[in-house]
Amino acid sequence: TQLLEQSPQFLSIQEGENLTVYCNSSSVFSSLQWYRQEPGEGPVLLVTVVTGGEVKKLKRLTFQFGDARKDSSLHITAAQPGDTGLYLCAGSALYAGNKLTFGGGTRVLVKP
C-alpha cells in the first residue's frame, strides 16, 4: 500500500486539451515534489511545494498543494505531445522517517 495515491493511472488526450493529475494521502507531508519520467530515463524534478495552499506555475504547468498538506494537483493547460510521460508525486515527512516516497504515477499520452 502506497502512502501517496495518484489518479488517474492513465490519461490519453488530444493536443490542445487540458488535464489534471491528482496526488492524495491521508497523511500530512512536509513537502511534495512532482517529477516527470521519460522511457529509459530516471525521474526529473519539476517542482517542490512546501506551504499549504501554495500554487506554483511553470509555463503551462500549474501545481497546487492542499491547505492541509495532504494532497496536491498538477494541471497542464493546452497539452502538447512533448508533455507525454510518467508523472510522479513524491513526499517526505518527519513522522515517516524523513524518506522520500513516491506515488504510483500517472501515465500521460498527448496525441498530436
Partner 1 sequence: NAGVTQTPKFRVLKTGQSMTLLCAQDMNHEYMYWYRQDPGMGLRLIHYSVGEGTTAKGEVPDGYNVSRLKKQNFLLGLESAAPSQTSVYFCASSYDSYTEAFFGQGTRLTVV
Grid coordinates belonging to 43: 525521474
Neighbours of 46 (CB within 10 A): 17
Grid-cell match 493511472, residue found: 9
Give the residue from 104, 101, 98 showing the smallest Cα distance to 86.
104
Site string for partner 1, 1-20 (x = CB under 8 A): -x---x--------------
Selected range binding partner 1 among 14-22, 59-67, 72-80, 89-97, rule: CB under 8 A: 89-97
- Find the shortest distance in angstroms from Cβ 7 to partner 1: 12
In whole angstroms, give the CA distance from residue 33 to residue 50. 9
Residue 23 in contact with partner 1, rule: CB under 8 A? no
Give the residue from 95, 108, 109, 82 showing the smallest Cα distance to 29.
95
The one-letter amino acid code at 47 reads V
- Find the shortest distance in angstroms from Cβ 48 to partner 1: 7
Site string for partner 1, 40-59 (x = CB under 8 A): xxxxxx--x-x---------
Neighbours of 83 (CB within 10 A): 18
Selected range binding partner 1 among 14-22, 61-69, 71-79, 88-96, rule: CB under 8 A: 88-96
Among 84, 105, 108, 110, binds partner 1 (CB under 8 A): 105
Residue 92 in contact with partner 1, rule: CB under 8 A? yes
